[in-house]
Chain A
Amino acid sequence: DIQMTQSPSTLSASLGDRVTITCRASQSIGGWLAWYQQKPGKAPKLLIYGASNLESGVPSRFSGSGSGTEFTLTISSLQPDDFATYYCQQYHNYLTFGQGTKVEIK
């Protein structure tokens, strides 16, 4: 099984901050990586696929990068709607999710 490890587990930030979340895979997954945002009581929402491709309708302040085993999700300027939990997910060999990163208000 491919394990996905996110860091940090919790991130405290202020409006307007640049935020970066890291996701590491236990083996190379090429660019087969997606990022999701989940708010309490709601289903996850796809933000990024193919490591760096922005899903339609997702604000351009979200971006993804990386390949192989190390990936990042960046929010260029944190907005009120962005306080949520973020998950990475590999799909090189079926699906595995990271444990999540909660972005909270500082």
Chain B
Amino acid sequence: EVQLVQSGAEVKKAGESLKISCQGSGYDFPNYWIDWVRQVPGKGLEWVGIIYPHASDDRYSPSFQGQVTISADKSTNTVYLHWSSLKASDTAMYYCARQRENIYGPGRDGLDIWGQGTMVTVSS
């Protein structure tokens, strides 16, 4: 079965660091782009950034550039989203999702496989 499995919910304080994970299975993980998408409770979807695990090639939305870091470990089929210093405004559900095809490059297709989401709660 093709799937992405994310790490569990996190409760942190402002200023702390955090790394959440997304592990893929059932397909050629290193050769598909993986996106991160944020959803604040009760709100819509926001694109955070993307990575190609095979080359660790990463790109970011201007809104999130410098605020988070996306990394990958192709030996374990895992992608990470990292904060060095959390803010209360980072409180949200974070989804990883696979880009359907990589023919046209990063961010150039729909997202066909989604993780179950990781809820991050940051208290001030």
Interface residues of A (CB under 8 A from B): 1, 32, 34, 36, 38, 43-46, 48-50, 55, 87, 89, 91, 93-100
Contact = CB atoms under 8 A, between A and B. Distances in A.
Interface size class of B (residues with CB under 8 A): 20 to 34
A46 B100 contact: yes
Contacts of B45: 36, 38, 44, 87, 89, 97, 100
B86 to A, nearest CB: 23
B107 A95 contact: yes
A97 B44 contact: yes
A33 B97 CA distance: 16
A-B residue pairs, 4 tightest by C-beta: A34-B110, A43-B114, A49-B110, A94-B107
B21 to A, nearest CB: 16
Contacts of A50: 110
Interface of B: 35, 37, 44-47, 50, 59, 61-62, 95, 97, 100, 106-112, 114-117
Given A94-B61, A95-B47, A95-B61, 8 more contacts: A32-B108, A43-B114, A44-B97, A89-B45, A89-B111, A91-B108, A93-B107, A95-B35
Contact of B114 (A34, A45, A48, A91): A45
Contacts of B108: 32, 91
B110 A43 contact: no
B106 A43 contact: no
18 contacts: A1-B62, A36-B111, A43-B116, A44-B45, A44-B111, A44-B114, A45-B114, A46-B110, A49-B110, A50-B110, A55-B110, A55-B112, A89-B111, A94-B50, A96-B47, A97-B47, A98-B44, A99-B44
